[in-house]
Amino acid sequence: MRPYPQLIIVGPGAMGCLHAALLAEAGLRVTLLDHKEERAATLAREGVSLEMPDGSTRTVPVPATGYPESVETADLVLILTKAYDTEDAIRHAAPVIGEGTSVLTLQNGLGNYEILQRHVPPAQVLAGVTSSGATLLGVGRIRVAGIGAITLGSPVGNWERAEAAAEVFRRAGLTAQVTDNVDAALWRKAIINAAINPLGALTGRRNGELLQHPPLRRLLGRVAQEAHQVALAAGLPLGDLDPMATVEEVCQATAANQCSMLQDVLAGRPTEIEQINGEIVRRGKATSLPTPLNEALVALIKGVS
């Protein structure tokens, strides 16, 4: 397999910095691309500080820039901005994307790879999900909740590009697998996020605490079931998924975590509600399937953010 001499990570948030640090630590050539030049300069000067689950901390030097023209054409571009910034992110990264560049989104929500495909030939676009969790404490300061597996694939079946990208993560000691149905993987995560994120953000509760209150626990399951029905109506092969059980398992496994939407609300940042629950509502309408719970959650989150 041809090595990846140049990796660009777009987005210096929690997940972008985490992945940049892990890949850089493994000796891979990584550059963080930020649209804010001053923040990029701080990252380049101070590196990325990781506060690990065991309480240990370490700082990893990571090159960063606000000028894509200053970086050579990339072999792999990893998009890890918030989902509502996908369009701006791919436009900003355009100078580092060539014919041989693969562009991978590991963002939350639905519709991200479709945006990328409007700017990059579909054969070069990859999509996936990660179960890692992290909180942004400040510029380049990350509290790591856990480092999980990555599942990725090519929406148009470009197996070779998908496998090459997965191998990059494996070289950094991360678990990465290729799926031949990446849409199913994206929907599985979207169903989980659609239940946990808005309810966590609205109640201020950590993931595990959502299970401690019977009304909330029931609502979690109902929201997940509604999203699951939309996925099935759209033709996704998720018949083996028990949405309620899956959401509860994730809450238990990440019990101490503040979901990303709760972090956004507490920090006064925009949320990804439109790219998660809002997208489920839109796709429900496309299949004439009512989604009253997801619609209500979109309205409520917009009311508090």
Q: Report pLDDT for 5.
A: 74
- Give yes or no: residues 226 and 143 share one domain: no
Does the pLDDT value for residue 272 go beyond 80? Answer: yes
User: What's the CA gap between 234 and 280, in Å, rounded?
Assistant: 10
- Give yes or no: residues 101 and 138 share one domain: yes
Convert the pLDDT of each residue in 273-299 to its tens digit: 999 999 999 999 999 999 999 999 999
Torsion over CA: 90, 15, 171, 256 (sign)? negative
Active-site positions? 189
Does the pLDDT value for residue 55 go beyond 80? Answer: yes
- Give yes or no: residues 58 and 160 share one domain: yes
Does the pLDDT value for residue 3 go beyond 60? Answer: no
User: What's the CA gap between 238 and 217, in Å, rounded?
Assistant: 22
Residues 6+ positions from 60 with CB-CB distance below 8 Å:
20, 21, 24, 25, 47, 48, 49, 50
Residue with tokens 């619609």: 295
Position 249 in a domain: yes
Which of 180, 206, 231 is the C-terminal boundary of a domain?
180
> Of 43, 62, 59, which Cα lies nearest the Cα of 51?
59
Q: Please provide the average confidence, as pLDDT, over all residues in the chain.
A: 95
Position 273 in a domain: yes
SS3 content of the chain, % helix, strand, coil (to 5): 50, 15, 35
- In the Cβ-directed half-sphere of 247, how many Cα atoms lie within 13 Å? 30
User: What's the CA gap between 52 and 73, in Å, rounded?
Assistant: 32
Domain containing residue 238: 183-304
- Give yes or no: residues 158 and 271 share one domain: no
Percent of the chain past pLDDT 90, that is, above it, reads: 95
Does the pLDDT value for residue 12 go beyond 80? Answer: yes
Secondary structure element (H or E) that encloses residue 196, with its range = helix 182-203
- Give yes or no: residues 67 and 38 share one domain: yes
Does the pLDDT value for residue 252 go beyond 60? Answer: yes
Does the pLDDT value for residue 117 go beyond 90? Answer: yes
Q: Report pLDDT for 239.
A: 77
Strand order in the sheet with 133-138: 57-60, 48-51, 141-146, 133-138
SS3 9: strand
